[in-house]
Amino acid sequence: MTETIKVKELATALNLEIVTGEEEALDRDICTADVSRPGLELTGYFNYYSHDRLQLFGSKEVTFARRMMPEERLMVVRRLCAEDTPALIISRGLDVPDEMVQACNEKQIPILRSTISTSRLLGQITSYLDGRLATRTNVHGVLVDVYGLGVLIQGDSGIGKSETALELIKRGHRLIADDRVDIYKQDDLTLIGEPPKILEHLIEIRGIGIIDVMNLFGASAVRGSMQVQLAVYLEAWAKDKKYDRLGSSDEVVELGEVAIPQIKIPVKTGRNVAIIIEVAAMNFRAKTMGYDATQAFEDRLSQLIEENSAL
């Protein structure tokens, strides 16, 4: 099913002024994050007109339109107002030509206006629509903000994911989503996670039930969304299994067509998993900044071998 949002949602989110448009017009659907600046169309060239996009008018488009004769301006704007055109948007707080208002009222297409520059407005609209219209999938796990790093905690049911997240929250970190995380691609390399509305700020602890994290720990203990940067998989400790002790393995997990670095942590009595995840997050950040403790150890080991060989 194709994601859509209403024009009135966009207007509210970006604080856009509604110049004209009744409730019915504001209920029009936006189906694509692409935005058009109809410069060529104002000259009468409609061969490749993207009529299903938001039409953004900056100072260039408005100035050009004002140099046209009123009858010509009305005719061109009427052609811009297709059945599936969501809205016309004016930047920089510019005055809207009367013919534009007339044509839009005829087709029940709203006109929105912002005081900010065209480039900034275009960026805000595209960023907002990319997030709202992106295809979403959901994964089982807990997403926590640990030192500004989005850590997705996964593992078998009952392994202690929510309890670990609760310990992290008590240690000053923030919950994004528990049990189910809705994820979407912001771009080819960026994955964003957020909670389903029904589970927002909630966490389930076996034996206690559902608790409201924001109610108990305050607004600073939660956040609405977060980039997923590291996946942590909790697995039951097995005596005969060999585990990575140097941190040299570079495992990844595919989530929403994006490869996310993954580490596996064996869980057994006596291990403080929350502290281990904190250290894993700090170590991952150090690696992204260019320092790799594993490589440093291997360099020291190689140097020691060379020194002993020279004796």
d(CA 190, CA 184): 9
Contact yes or no for 124/14 (Cβ under 8 A): yes
Helix axes 59-66, 70-80, angle to 10 degrees: 140
pLDDT at 243 over 50: yes
Going 172 to 185 to 29 to 14, the CA torsion angle's sign is positive
Could you read off the pLDDT of 110-163 as tens digits, one per residue?
A: 999 999 999 999 999 998 998 888 888 899 999 999 999 999 999 988 898 999
Could you read off the pLDDT of 252-294 as tens digits, one per residue?
A: 899 888 899 999 888 887 788 999 999 999 988 888 888 776 7
Query: Which of 18-27, 66-75, 204-213, 292-301 is the least confident region?
Result: 292-301
Which is the catalytic residue, given 239, 242, 245, 250? 245
Which is the catalytic residue, given 8, 28, 73, 161? 161
Which is the catalytic residue, given 113, 179, 182, 185? 179
Confidence of residue 295 (pLDDT cuts 50, 70, 90): confident
Confidence of residue 311 (pLDDT cuts 50, 70, 90): low
Question: Which residues fall within 8 angstroms of residue 219, CB to CB, at 6 or more apart?
Answer: none
For residue 155, give the amino acid letter: G
Q: Do domains 5-133 and 137-297 have the same CATH topology?
A: no
Looking only at the bridges linking them, the beta strands covering 226-227 and 209-212 are unpaired
158 annotated as belonging to a binding site for a ligand: yes
In this prediction, residues 204-218 reach a mean pLDDT of 92
d(CA 178, CA 7): 31
Query: 250 or 225: which carries more pLDDT confidence?
Result: 225
Q: Which of 15, 38, 156 is nearest to 100 (CA)?
A: 38
Q: Which of 224, 230, 225 is nearest to 253 (CA)?
A: 230
pLDDT, residue 185, reads 87
Which is the catalytic residue, given 140, 170, 171, 268? 140
Is 66 one of the catalytic residues?
Answer: no
162 annotated as belonging to a binding site for a ligand: yes
Is 245 one of the catalytic residues?
Answer: yes
157 annotated as belonging to a binding site for a ligand: yes
Is 161 one of the catalytic residues?
Answer: yes
pLDDT, residue 207, reads 86
Is 171 one of the catalytic residues?
Answer: no
Could you read off the pLDDT of 2-52 as tens digits, one per residue?
A: 578 999 999 999 999 999 988 899 999 999 999 999 999 999 999 999 999
Cα 251 to the chain's mean position, in Å? 24
Determine whether 200 is exposed, middle or buried from the number of CB atoms within 10 Å of its CB (0-12, 13-18, 19+): middle
- CATH 3.40.630.30: does it fit domain 137-297? no
Question: Which residues fall within 8 angstroms of residue 225, CB to CB, at 6 or more apart?
Answer: 176, 192, 193, 194
pTM over 0.85: no
Could you read off the pLDDT of 217-240 as tens digits, one per residue?
A: 999 999 999 999 999 999 888 777
Could you read off the pLDDT of 71-83 as tens digits, one per residue?
A: 999 999 999 999 9
pLDDT, residue 287, reads 85
270 annotated as belonging to a binding site for a ligand: no
SS3 assignment, position 52: coil
pLDDT, residue 188, reads 80
CATH of 5-133, one of 3.40.1390.20, 2.30.110.10, 2.40.10.10, 3.30.70.1350: 3.40.1390.20
pLDDT at 244 over 90: no
pLDDT, residue 1, reads 47
d(CA 121, CA 232): 38
159 annotated as belonging to a binding site for a ligand: yes
Q: Domain coordinates of the chain in residue numbers?
A: 5-133, 137-297
Q: What is the largest CA-CA distance in the chain?
A: 95
